[in-house]
Chain A
Amino acid sequence: AQRVTQPEKLLSVFKGAPVELKCNYSYSGSPELFWYVQYSRQRLQLLLRHISRESIKGFTADLNKGETSFHLKKPFAQEEDSAMYYCALSFQGGSEKLVFGKGTKLTVNP
């Protein structure tokens, strides 16, 4: 079955420190991976997608098919990065159905 695992429910770092939010998936085909973010009192929104190979708000994520991972990284965390982060998988090649991980709550301390 298709599954997305985010092993850390909570992650706390200090401002300026590097941050990595882990995401592993299980799917035998060619997945499309996404990171969504939910800031306090805001809607869940797309942060980035692996096919775009983009950097958004300093965050990057590389799809590692060998390790079936899609970890989200930022070299220098900011307080405004504090939010709930969800990794998501689209596995039907063009289907809009997304399976989400359980999320990681990131807190960036001053």
Chain B
Amino acid sequence: DAGVIQSPRHEVTEMGQEVTLRCKPISGHNSLFWYRQTMMRGLELLIYFNNNVPIDDSGMPEDRFSAKMPNASFSTLKIQPSEPRDSAVYFCASSPTGQGYTGELFFGEGSRLTVL
């Protein structure tokens, strides 16, 4: 397995533009997480899904952010419109749940977003 796959790896955009980040979790994992990493705030949980259903989106900063998981193998995080303060590295992670759960999250390589 190639692990959690994220795209794009790097994105540079201008303020006001729409940004879509994509994630493919590890096959068989039924929980998926979106985290944002900044120097000031560290790793913040934005939202997580279980069996494609959003369970906790309390970390989503504002209405400009939205996330979807249309099926077990794909999720998107969308920012519209983007702002310079959204510049960060966005990580996707997945994990098995139920009896398979050990507390370990498997992270993707991250998507580095720069909003000018």
Residues of A within 8 A of B (CB): 32, 34, 36, 43-46, 49, 51, 86, 90, 94, 96-103
CB of B42 within 8 A of CB of A44, answer no
Q: Tell me if B's interface is mostly helix, strand, loop or mixed.
A: strand
CB of A103 within 8 A of CB of B48, answer no
Number of A-B contacts (CB under 8 A): 55
B residues contacting the other copy or chain, number (CB 8 A): 26
Alpha-carbon distance between A103 and B35 when the two chains are bound, in angstroms? 14
Contacts of B102 in A (CB 8 A): 49
Q: Tell me if A's interface is mostly helix, strand, loop or mixed.
A: strand
Residues of B within 8 A of A (CB): 3, 31, 33, 35, 41-45, 48, 50, 55-56, 91, 93, 95, 97, 101-105, 107-110
Partner of A86, one of B3, B33, B42: B42
